[in-house]
Structure 1
């Protein structure tokens, strides 16, 4: 059932809740809405009380200027309060960075899990992230939303032919509509490095995951996250890449969150 709450600054936060068990909020990454996480929520709902939501600036949630990462943490605080005052968090990609920030920020988070947060593990990748930020900021300031989407897709590793195909797809208009929120995900990622001191303040159990078929640097980043946490562990999801299948991811998460 579709519901809504309001963040500290009055922004509407749209969410849906399903299932029964310990409460878990799923945090989506860039270019996505709560609907993106709905298939995973369905897989988890047999063992967990699962909430998916539209992050601010996308879907049916509102947006209030000026943006700050702290406002997105407050959005999660409002959601957790609406769910009864305590919940676990699971974040995918840059949504994982937001989940980590929320857990480190003193929210009543019981457990936190993340999947393939794209932190840079070498200087060249960090520089590429900084260059992306500069070009993204310019494109969005000039209202060139299509260019902003292309910049993100290139950063994600898509080739030019695939990007041209995406431009011709029915999904392109929707992608352009959420392009301004790319700046939000970029801000959540900070300096693109693993925020070890921040993660060290997370006192709840933490699980950092990578896909078994993903490149090695995804595993390096997941291990670094787990190693930085007082109660962290690293795991893999067999046969998966960055776009993990819900049916493969769900058993790992259910076992962690249902404890």
Structure 2
């Protein structure tokens, strides 16, 4: 059943809670919210059955969460802070794709994070300028008049068939409606290039597992290696997964095993 909490700027954030045990918050990537992402919802149920309290929420401007006056990374971190208060203590963040960059930013900002599991965070090269360029370009399109152009720009570096499949799917209008909320995704990725990562992430001391699929895009293994190299207590592993997606049973089992170590 959907519940609601209120973020610092008054935006209402929708979430559901399953299970009882150590709290886990699922941090969605670019094109995800509960009703549009049955894979993550299925995984939430499987993970909760393994003895965890799992909070799955709709990021602002998506699903049942309210549209908001702004969609910055800071806004999203404030939303996460409100959810940690719902959880009642330190939480594990499970960040999917760009949600992993948001999770890193949350931990670096001092939110009460006890562990992280990050799946295929598409980090650019350390110190690169592409993240800032992508953010600037996205903001220009969000300010424009074409919702299609915003999502097309966001997906410009993904495989061409992914964009074509999305554009020709019934879900395209849902994706274009999420356009403004993509600002936090690109802002989080730009943040990871804003300073040397050893400096940027020096306050992150929680156990972290950086996961990549056994079949994945070329950017993903070096990105996971960078996370493992620049966080004090992090390691990188591969799991059976392909096409920037995972099976609910596989992911639930790996998260549960990591958190029980």
Give the TM-score taking structure 1 as reference length: 0.89
Residue equivalent to 1:80 = 84
Unaligned runs of 5+ in 1: none
Q: Is the 8 A contact 1:39 1:246 kept in 2?
A: yes
Cα distance in 2 for partners of 1:131, 1:106 equals 27
Report Cα offsets for 1:32-51 as digits up to 9, x if no partner. Answer: 11342212212212112111
Partner of residue 53 from structure 2, selected from 49, 56, 81: 49
Partner of 2:145: helix, strand, or coil? coil
Change over 3 Å in CA distance of 1:240–1:251 after alignment to 2 = farther
Out of 236, 246, 249, the residue aligned to residue 247 of structure 1 is 249
After superposition, the Cα gap between the structure-2 partners of 1:51 and 1:258, relative to the gap in structure 1 and judged at 3 Å, is farther
C-alpha spacing 1:198/1:240, structure 2 compared with 1 (3 Å): same
| Alignment of 1:198 onto 2:200 | yes
Cα 1:185–1:217 change in 2 (3 A) is: closer
1:105 to 105, 109, 127: 109
CA distance change for structure 1 residues 19 and 132 in 2, over 3 Å: closer, same or farther? same
Q: Distance in 1 between matches of 2:166 and 2:242?
A: 23
**CA deviation string 1:142-163 (max 9, x = no partner):** 121111112223222224xx54
Question: Please, which moves more after superposition, 39-48 or 110-119?
Answer: 39-48
| Matched-pair contact (CA < 8 Å) for 2:72–2:183 | no
Provide closer, same or farther for how the CA distance between residues 8 and 191 of structure 1 changes in structure 2, counting only shifts above 3 A. closer
Q: 1:230 to 1:164 in 2, by over 3 A?
A: closer
3-state DSSP of counterpart to 1:4: strand
String of CA shifts for 1:209-251, please: whole Å, max 9, x gaps.
1112224431111121122111111111134341122222221
Give structure 2 stretches of 5+ with no counterpart: none
The number of residue pairs the alignment matches comes to 255
Could you tell me which residue of structure 1 aligns to residue 65 of structure 2?
61
- Matches of 1:144 and 1:96, distance apart in 2: 28
Contact in 2 for aligned 1:213/1:241 (Cα 8 Å)? yes
Counterparts of 1:170 and 1:140 in 2: how far apart (Å)?
Answer: 22
Q: Deviations over 1:124-167 (max 9, x none)?
A: xx5554554343222221121111112223222224xx544533
Shift of 1:5: 0.7
C-alpha separation in 1, matches of 2:163 and 2:122: 20
1:1-259 residue pairs with structure 2 within 5 A? 1-35=1-35, 36=37, 37-47=40-50, 48-121=52-125, 126=128, 129-159=131-161, 163-191=163-191, 193=193, 195-259=197-261
Taking the aligned partners of 1:57 and 1:148, their CA distance within structure 2 comes to 15
